[in-house]
Amino acid sequence: MKKEVTRAIIILVLVLLSSQIIDLYITYGFLQGNQIDDKDNRYWEYENGVNVEVNPIVLEGTSGECWVLVHGYTATPDVFQELADEIHNTFNDSVYAPLLLGHGMVPSELLKYSMDDWYEQIENLALEKKCTHFVGSSMMSSLVLKYSEEYTTEKIVLLSMYTDVHMQTALDRFKFGIIPTLGKYKKKTTLGSIIDSQGLEDHISTWVAPLQPVVDYEKDFFPRVMDNLDEINGDVLFIHARNDTVVDMDSARMVFDSISVSKEFIIVDGEHVMLRDFDKGNVIQHIIDFRQKSS
């Protein structure tokens, strides 16, 4: 009887282990590290290493106010085009949405950079242009928060503020910790978490998400930002999509509750990439109204 129980336990463990290995292979590129760029190379056209459809945004205004719009991880500045146009046309503000280093290229390029590299890029641009208005998206919202901890800011908008990956079980957390070593990236089923079909078609991103920068963000960069939230200055607007499957709303509220300056938390319809989704007009109007309060 004991042998049968032992045999059953061994079989169960082997089945569970096999299922996890299969998941690592199908979802996380286990043993496929050299294939990280394959799907993007087939799907996108590149010129001098950059996706030909990617367009950084530069809109020069004369109002004296300046914005830096920071796109999300694996995304591109194009997601901000309608918002940038609306801000510029309404207020004649200058608006800059740079292409973050390694983005708009094949996914493996992202592994060459860190949050500190991307922060330095945003810091240099904001100081050069003397910008005090910011929009940050998802994980890159933390770049905006860090800037506000170190310099004077007037208005900060945080879209889908990302804190950490949804983890349902201890096994999920363990896998996430070892995946950068075993597989390096997560394969996507779509280019972005977007409900609207046209928005999804228009979205420019990579087909895989290298995970080492995300792990480093959670373990190092984000905790550093959280340690200095009492240095945040200016007004802060959080906008979160009620159908967001990437970022837990309670996590975003945790950051919101930790900030002591004038702040507002708004919930809209749609998914994580809200400026590509069906309620984007509402999102843009909220940002315009937020800017209007200082006019």
pLDDT of residue 187: 83
Residues present in the chain in total:
295
Q: What residues are paired with 205 via a beta bridge?
A: none
Map residue 274 onto helix, strand or coil. helix
List domains and CATH numbers for the chain. Answer: 32-292 (3.40.50.1820)
Whether the pLDDT of residue 286 is over 70: the answer is yes
pLDDT above 80 for 150: yes
Q: What is the pLDDT of residue 185?
A: 79
- Give the span between the Cα atoms of 223 and 240, in whole angstroms: 21
Please give the pLDDT value at position 278. Answer: 96
Q: What is the mean pLDDT of residues 139-158?
A: 98
Tell me the per-residue pLDDT of 107-139, one tens digit each, with 9 for 90 and over. 999 999 999 999 999 999 999 999 999 999 999
Q: Is the pLDDT of residue 33 over 80?
A: no
pTM: 0.89
pLDDT at 167: 46
